[in-house]
Structure 1
Amino acid sequence: MSDPFDDFEDLKTALRAATPTPDVTRKAENIALAENNFARRQESAEQARFTSDRPKKGLFRGVFSMFKAISTRQALTASTALVAIGLFVYLPALQKGPEGLVNLPPEPIAVTEATTEVDSIVGVLGSDGRARMQASGEAEEANVAPLEAPVMAELADMAAPLGQLSGAAPSPSVMARPAATAKLEQRSLIPPLQGYADDSQMRVEPDTEAYPDAEPNPLKITTEEPVSTFSIDVDTASYAILRSSLNAGRLPTADQVRIEEMVNYFPYDYAAPLDNAPFSTRATVIATPWNPETRLVHIALQGEKPALDTRPPLNLVFLIDTSGSMDAPNKLPLLKQSFQLMLAQLRPEDKVAIVTYAGSAGQVLDPTPASDRATIMAALDKLDAGGSTAGQAGLQQAYATAESMSDDGDISRIILATDGDFNVGIYDPDELKDFIAKKRETGTYLSVLGFGRGNLDDATMQALAQTGNGQAAYIDTLSEAQKTLVDQLSGALFPIANDVKIQVEFNPAQIAEYRLIGYETRALKREDFNNDRIDAGEIGAGHAVTAIYEVTPVGSPAQLSDPLRYQPAEVTATSEEYGFLRLRYKRPGEDTSALIETPILPGGEATPDMQFASAIAGFGQLLQNSPYLGGWSYTQAIDLANGAKGDDAFGYRAQAVQLMRLADSLSQ
């Protein structure tokens, strides 16, 4: 057997013998051909020559020959320089605004370390992300900066004279900063959009919402002012508005919070009225959740629930805002869906008419039987948003239509649906309220439904509804429309008592101080209570109304006011009563009020309804940053409400707890 190494040597010998001897001439020709092809690829037809050897062929031929003689590296360098010069010369001209003024970005601040911008986003990346980003930046800086710095410095030197002419020369520190830092600072190098002097012209204008400007009720000293008088309120708009704000991720402003509307948003199982009275009345003294040294006086009214199958015919006029501001999904489209839900609750003998206002008032639908739902829905579907708002003209048309529909014994109601924007018409609020008040005397009441956010004029809506003997509600979802226009339709449209006023006289022998929680926009003078000409709120069929006072018993360490030097130190105790409750109301169609009186006695026991109402009152005060809550927190409000949800058939109370939790998170 042969040695494999011998075979390998034989193979190498054979390969050397088979390899031809190099042809020197052929090799030289191939090299020359390669050099020629390389030169042609580099756009140079001949080898570079010294300038002194350049042939004299005239100006244009000389320039042409010069470009032919320039190498690729030199061409790139010259091109880069020309581009840089062009940018510094022409960028200021391109940045001129619409009026010919030069709007240059401010000179960026020199930054020497990439950690400045890293710190601004560490909340998103976390500490691990910071480390990774810094490491990445340092690596990039180490790799790129040595190559970039000489070029950038050269460009800065070239641009300096031009910068003096244009006023836009960047600082050398910016031109020479590392690549990693430049990337992190790129936001400061972006100029404003062409046509805008600065970013203020690109900002979205703030909303134009308006709310009643009413400070929370102050603490009253009983010996100085023992009587408190106010009108009841069954509106619920404030709760729906603040819910909309919280669900949008922002806390409501203090003027959006009306605590009485928050408390009265929820149904309560109060005792039913007796002896054919329109409503029951009860005053209970219970513990204060946020202050063990004070007490709450909980006043509850429960309206009767008459049989609706025997009610008189109902005439409804939908007064719908179709101005351009209503062109949003949560405005006119939601309005149409809401009214569709309501139509299903009407009886065949009821009638519906539709009036719109947008630039000029228009009769969209003549009085039509509620049984003809197809015609009514077709009229609603045709409504489009567009134009300015002529609210007063629309009101005049709506009242005229309601008067034409009325027969003896009928109930006539106008439901104004709007985002609250009244741009044209009667600008004087007092004149507008006078117009509505005169129409109220004819028996036609006005309720207001608010839709959408951004330009919601809640203050005007409240004023119109109060003057029109109606209700104000805010519809932000179809579920809210179901609650307002279906579940509580009877209470909204069929009043059982008008001009309902409450007056409480506190006993100075037992109560040192008191304050009414809410009802700031419903305050009345003491003498207004017995004046039947003074307008007040209405109670609808089945409505529950709650009012809450916080009172400080005499001798309590919670008393905030010092005794007067020149007044009697003590008031002789003639009764253990905390106070005396008086209530006046008128039956619908009557001009003379009736009086209900009941004492306020200590020692009551809080029911789950009372506890939940107290939790909501505390929630409202937390949103207002009330100074009377001490260290009481959202957590305690949540615990109190959770323990008092009771039979929450529709989930309203559970929803309130979720809103409390959301407000707690947003307030951190």
Structure 2
Amino acid sequence: MHLPCSAGPRPGRILTAALLALALAACTAPQTRDTPAGDVAAAPAPVPAGPVPAPAVPTPPVPVATPSPAEARIAAERRLARARQGTAPGQVAAPVPRPLPPRVQDLPYSHVITQGAAPHPVRRVATDPVSTFSVDVDTGSYTSVRGLLQRGLAVPREAVRVEEMLNYFSYDYPRPAAGAADPFSVHAELVPSPWNPHNHLLKIGIQAADPAKDTLPPANLVFLVDVSGSMAVPQALPVVQQSLLAFVDELREQDRVSIVTYSATTRVLLASVPGDRKELIREAIRSLHASGSTAGGAGLRLAYQQARRSYIPGGINRILLATDGDFNVGVTGIDQLKQIVAAERKSGIGLSTLGVGLVRYNDALMEQIADAGDGKYSFLDSVAEGRKVLVQEFTSTLATVASDVKLQLEFNPAVVKEYRLIGYDNRQLAREDFNNDRVDAGDVGAGHRVTALYELTLQGRPGLLDEERYPANRPAAASGDTRAGELGWLKIRYKRPGEARSRLLEQAVANAPKPLAEAGADVRFAAAVAAYGQLLQGSPYLGDFGWPQVLELARSGLGADPYGQRREFLTLVQRAARRAPRELPEG
């Protein structure tokens, strides 16, 4: 059937035909094949699928609409990011539609995958005197929530892990003495609770030894970088690249570095080279380009294969996985991925995760596989955070001074009536697991600080639990040697790197409360951070203690603050308060 047409072609139809031709060409272009890990010494940069005007300059793919509004918004953000990159002189880029996307802060949080755990309940010492948990040095929850608040987004309760917020900050804990038998020192402080006049806060701090960088053993590092399409936004792959480039400056001659990438396929982009080949490593990092789906499980296996080939006996052998966690090809389940990582951990290869992303990232996956790999989960919401994790904390990111670290605190029933552990909700261990060396727990890196807070009700104070009606159900009063000078007995189990049997550190916790105003700035600031996290979780234990009180308490605990991290926390409190029904007063 012949359709009537105008005398000349319409410009709109020419543009439409051109776009259709490009889309068909992109669909039919051959995919880059997998490169066997052992055949490449320094593989070339990944070649993006789709037509290109010249071999060196990839053409942005024509966006494909999806049924999901959130997906459409993310695609619009990627188009803008690619369009801003421009083209080389004398080259013409394919036309890319550039509709104005909605404001980023209007995007929903529903594409961030989290996995929360129920907060610890109040426990009565007379019937449940022992608290046992695995330590945690992750900080990803703090920076992930920070990024959301800075973009004006809602923070779901499941994204808040109070211990990761506490452990983000530095505290002035005493370091272990040179030549000490144990690789860390222990500090305890007891003060009145800021939010409950009847209760106290017990802060326990662990400070690991921090050897100089030059004294660390040689490191065999594999950068495993997600280069799938979801990493194309400015808050993902570009942040990873700039962070890794800064990290390269810290590498030593005795270190070795490999780079493995994954998207729809996997490849060894750079086989193991010495740490002093800095320009070669930088060139490989700069060549990274995001496109395609996400075969994260296959990427993990290839990275471990590369790590085994360059394994350094007695050295640091670790994979640094940089990803938004959006695995969608092959092995994608958290439990399956954890099994892969846990099995490889037993061979001496650890794994740490560097999370990135704008509004789509898998927080639960990145936290849990780092735990399975005896590593740390950090979320890089900016290049500055990348420098903090990979440059300022170089030794703690790489070197482990104690593994499978477990903490157990037995409270004295003559002194403590009730207790509640704040945070570490998914780190609880059974009492019998403390002495079982086959039960995995968290690792502590060089220079790491671990902080835990308990809220306590001392004897003679009104508690949060009702008294039993029947006398036979009431706990018996303590008698005999009450050891009133002890609040409790603290035990820490840990293994030295490479050891199979744990060691035990134990000491009494003194019953020596001091007024909050006379306590150190660190304990006041830690209490403010704990209150901040609990308010974000909607905790029922804070009473009328709200955002204005958190802000005032944090200001009283600023201390020296050499990097400005505590002052930045004040702005986050203010941002969180603006989303609450009652805002902070002016000033």
Structures share fold, TM-score greater than 0.5: yes
Matched, 1:567 2:480: no
Paired residue for 1:609? 522
Q: Helix, strand or coil: the match of 2:531?
A: helix
In structure 1, which of residues 549, 556, 561 is the aligned counterpart of residue 454 of structure 2? Answer: 549
Paired residue for 2:415? 510
* Distance across 2 between alignment mates of 1:220 and 1:427: 38
Matched, 1:657 2:570: yes
Q: Helix, strand or coil: the match of 1:591?
A: coil
* Distance across 2 between alignment mates of 1:434 and 1:371: 34
Matched, 1:437 2:342: yes
Paired residue for 1:582? 491
Paired residue for 1:368? 273
Q: Which amino acid aligns with 1:634?
A: W
Q: Helix, strand or coil: the match of 1:433?
A: helix
- Post-superposition CA distance 1:473-502 (Å, at most 9, x none): 000111101111111111111010000000
In structure 1, which of residues 639, 647, 650 is the aligned counterpart of residue 560 of structure 2? Answer: 647
Judging changes above 3 Å, is the alpha-carbon distance between structure 1 residues 645 and 506 closer, same or farther for their aligned structure 2 residues? same
* Distance across 1 between alignment mates of 2:286 and 2:72: 36
Q: 1:314: how far off? A: 0.9
Paired residue for 2:535? 622
Matched, 1:478 2:387: no
Write out the 4+ residue segments of structure 1 that deviate beyond 4 Å after TM superposition: 195-206
Higher relative contact order (CA 8 A, sep 6+): 2
Q: Helix, strand or coil: the match of 2:435?
A: coil
- Post-superposition CA distance 1:389-444 (Å, at most 9, x none): 11111111101111111232221110000001111222443332222112111111
Report the number of matched residues.
474
* Distance across 2 between alignment mates of 1:635 and 1:608: 18
Matched, 1:211 2:119: no
Instruction: Say whether the 8 Å CA contact 2:296–2:332 is kept in structure 1.
Output: no
Q: Helix, strand or coil: the match of 1:578?
A: strand
Instruction: Say whether the 8 Å CA contact 1:512–1:559 is kept in structure 2.
Output: no
The correspondence of residues 373-384 of structure 1 with structure 2, limited to 5 A, is 373-384=278-289
Paired residue for 1:229? 132
Instruction: Say whether the 8 Å CA contact 2:116–2:159 is kept in structure 1.
Output: no
In structure 2, which of residues 215, 229, 232 is the aligned counterpart of residue 327 of structure 1? Answer: 232
Judging changes above 3 Å, is the alpha-carbon distance between structure 1 residues 199 and 353 closer, same or farther for their aligned structure 2 residues? closer
* Distance across 1 between alignment mates of 2:69 and 2:327: 31
- Structure 1 regions of 5+ residues with no counterpart? 1-194
Paired residue for 1:386? 291
* Distance across 2 between alignment mates of 1:456 and 1:199: 17
* Distance across 2 between alignment mates of 1:355 and 1:201: 27
* Distance across 1 between alignment mates of 2:223 and 2:324: 14
* Distance across 1 between alignment mates of 2:351 and 2:567: 32
* Distance across 2 between alignment mates of 1:245 and 1:401: 35
Q: Which amino acid aligns with 2:559?
A: G
Q: Which amino acid aligns with 2:572?
A: L
* Distance across 2 between alignment mates of 1:197 and 1:222: 55
Paired residue for 1:263? 166
Instruction: Say whether the 8 Å CA contact 1:284–1:602 is kept in structure 2.
Output: no
* Distance across 2 between alignment mates of 1:368 and 1:600: 49
**Larger Rg belongs to:** 1
- Post-superposition CA distance 1:19-67 (Å, at most 9, x none): xxxxxxxxxxxxxxxxxxxxxxxxxxxxxxxxxxxxxxxxxxxxxxxxx
- Structure 2 regions of 5+ residues with no counterpart? 1-64, 75-106, 582-587
Judging changes above 3 Å, is the alpha-carbon distance between structure 1 residues 564 and 422 closer, same or farther for their aligned structure 2 residues? farther
Q: 1:586: how far off? A: 0.4
Paired residue for 2:22? none
Q: 1:564: how far off? A: 5.2
Instruction: Say whether the 8 Å CA contact 1:285–1:600 is kept in structure 2.
Output: no
Q: Which amino acid aligns with 1:567?
A: N
Paired residue for 1:311? 216
- Post-superposition CA distance 1:617-651 (Å, at most 9, x none): 11111111211111011111111111111110000
* Distance across 1 between alignment mates of 2:384 and 2:315: 29
Q: Which amino acid aligns with 1:325?
A: S
Paired residue for 1:596? 505
Instruction: Say whether the 8 Å CA contact 1:246–1:252 is kept in structure 2.
Output: yes
Comparing both structures, which one devotes a greater share of its residues to helix? Answer: 1
Paired residue for 1:173? none
Q: Which amino acid aligns with 2:373?
A: G
* Distance across 2 between alignment mates of 1:617 and 1:330: 28
* Distance across 2 between alignment mates of 1:662 and 1:360: 41
Instruction: Say whether the 8 Å CA contact 1:303–1:542 is kept in structure 2.
Output: yes
Q: 1:510: how far off? A: 2.2
Judging changes above 3 Å, is the alpha-carbon distance between structure 1 residues 662 and 427 closer, same or farther for their aligned structure 2 residues? closer
Judging changes above 3 Å, is the alpha-carbon distance between structure 1 residues 203 and 325 closer, same or farther for their aligned structure 2 residues? closer
Paired residue for 1:527? 432
- Post-superposition CA distance 1:161-207 (Å, at most 9, x none): xxxxxxxxxxxxxxxxxxxxxxxxxxxxxxxxxx9999999998854
Q: Which amino acid aligns with 1:631?
A: D
Paired residue for 1:157? none
Q: 1:607: how far off? A: 1.5
Judging changes above 3 Å, is the alpha-carbon distance between structure 1 residues 316 and 200 closer, same or farther for their aligned structure 2 residues? closer
Judging changes above 3 Å, is the alpha-carbon distance between structure 1 residues 572 and 431 closer, same or farther for their aligned structure 2 residues? same
Q: Helix, strand or coil: the match of 2:552?
A: helix
The correspondence of residues 458-477 of structure 1 with structure 2, limited to 5 A, is 458-477=363-382
* Distance across 2 between alignment mates of 1:354 and 1:237: 23
- Post-superposition CA distance 1:324-356 (Å, at most 9, x none): 111111111111001001011111221111101
Paired residue for 1:416? 321
Judging changes above 3 Å, is the alpha-carbon distance between structure 1 residues 256 and 429 closer, same or farther for their aligned structure 2 residues? closer
Q: Which amino acid aligns with 1:235?
A: D
- Post-superposition CA distance 1:561-618 (Å, at most 9, x none): 2235223454224221222111100000101111111122222343211111111111
Paired residue for 2:252? 347
Q: 1:251: how far off? A: 3.7
Q: 1:272: how far off? A: 1.2
Q: Helix, strand or coil: the match of 1:529?
A: helix
TM-score of the pair, normalised by structure 1: 0.68
Q: Helix, strand or coil: the match of 2:169?
A: coil
Q: 1:284: how far off? A: 2.2
Q: 1:220: how far off? A: 1.4
Instruction: Say whether the 8 Å CA contact 1:509–1:570 is kept in structure 2.
Output: no
Paired residue for 1:501? 406
Q: Which amino acid aligns with 2:524?
A: Q
Instruction: Say whether the 8 Å CA contact 2:127–2:475 is kept in structure 1.
Output: no
Paired residue for 2:143? 240
Instruction: Say whether the 8 Å CA contact 2:521–2:558 is kept in structure 1.
Output: yes
Q: Helix, strand or coil: the match of 1:656?
A: helix
* Distance across 2 between alignment mates of 1:312 and 1:619: 39
* Distance across 1 between alignment mates of 2:475 and 2:379: 49
